[in-house]
Amino acid sequence: NSKLRHVEKDVLIPQIMRERAKELCSDKVQAFTKCCQETGLLMVVKCRQENAALKDCLVGYYSDPSFYEECKTEYLKQREEYRATGIKKKRQKLTSNV
């Protein structure tokens, strides 16, 4: 059954999208984080470029219909597995080689 409830469409799938987009834009996340750590309170002014690059990357994924469908499919697999086993599986985080 692939029918989605309101909370699944508006909360759970976008949550997967945010997590995956952060993983896919990890280089920009790291650049922005590093800039913020180095500049402290002046980050609002000094990190505009990094913030804009990060925002462009994330919005690019959020607005991509094929990315939504990919995340929806992932969610449906997780839901199906949970319904079959009763065990909630945590998403694996990609580890960076830093």
Q: Is residue 97 part of a domain?
A: no
pLDDT (0 to 100) of residue 93: 54
For residue 98, what pLDDT is reported?
A: 41
Residue type, 35: C
Identify the burial level of 96 via C-beta atoms within 10 angstroms of its C-beta, where 0-12 means exposed, 13-18 middle and 19 or more buried. exposed
The mean pLDDT of 65-73, rounded to a whole number, is 96
Is residue 93 a part of any domain in this protein?
no
Residue with tokens 């997967």: 16
Q: Is residue 82 part of a domain?
A: no
Separation CA 98–CA 96 (nearest Å): 6
pLDDT-based confidence at 3, cuts 50/70/90?
Answer: confident
Give dist(CA 22, CA 50) in Å, integer: 14
Per-residue model confidence as pLDDT tens digits over 20-51: 999 999 999 999 999 999 998 888 899 999 99
Q: Answer yes or no: is 87 within a domain.
A: no
Q: What is the residue range of 15's domain?
A: 6-75
Q: Residue 54: is it exposed, middle or buried by C-beta count within 10 angstroms (0-12/13-18/19+)?
A: buried
- Model pTM score: 0.77
